[in-house]
Amino acid sequence: MSAADANRTDFRRWCFPAPAAALVMVFAVASLAPIGTSFGEETKSAAASDAKSNEKADSEKGWRPLFDGKSLENWKVTDFGGQGSVIVREKDKVLRIEQGEPLTGITWTGKDLPRVNYEIQLEAQRVDGNDFFCGLTFPVKKNCCSLILGGWGGGLTGISSINGFDASENETTDFVSFENGKWYSVRVVVTDTHIRAWVGDEMLADVDYSEKNIDVRLEMELCKPLGLATFQTVSDVRNFRIRELKPEAAKEGQ
Q: In what order do the strands lie in the sheet with 174-175?
A: 75-77, 103-108, 227-231, 134-140, 143-151, 156-160, 174-175
**6, 27, 141, 148, 174 from 204: Cα distances, Å:** 79, 60, 21, 10, 7
**Average pLDDT value for the chain:** 83
Q: Are residues 48 and 70 in the same domain?
A: no
pLDDT of amino acid 246:
85
pLDDT of amino acid 40:
53
Mean pLDDT for the stretch of residues 103-130: 97
| Share above pLDDT 90 across residues of the chain, in percent, rounded to a whole number | 72
Angstrom distance (rounded) from CA 183 to CA 238 = 9
pLDDT band at 208 (very low <50, low <70, confident <90, very high): very high
User: Is 50's pLDDT higher than 90?
Assistant: no
Angstrom distance (rounded) from CA 90 to CA 253 = 32
Q: Are residues 105 and 229 in the same domain?
A: yes
Mean pLDDT for the stretch of residues 100-106: 98
Q: Are residues 39 and 151 in the same domain?
A: no
Q: Are residues 83 and 186 in the same domain?
A: yes
Angstrom distance (rounded) from CA 49 to CA 58 = 14
Give per-residue pLDDT as tens, 151-187: 998 999 999 999 999 999 999 999 999 999 999 999 9
User: Is 110's pLDDT higher than 60?
Assistant: yes
In a domain, 59, yes or no: no
The whole domain housing 96 covers 64-252
Q: Are residues 183 and 77 in the same domain?
A: yes
Pairwise pLDDT comparison (3 vs 71), residue with the higher score: 71
Pairwise pLDDT comparison (135 vs 7), residue with the higher score: 135
| Pick from 188, 194, 198: nearest CA to 240 | 188
Q: Are residues 134 and 173 in the same domain?
A: yes
| Share above pLDDT 70 across residues of the chain, in percent, rounded to a whole number | 74
| Pick from 63, 83, 89: nearest CA to 223 | 83
The domain tally of the chain equals 2
Q: Are residues 24 and 121 in the same domain?
A: no
Give per-residue pLDDT as tens, 54-82: 555 556 589 999 999 999 999 999 999 99
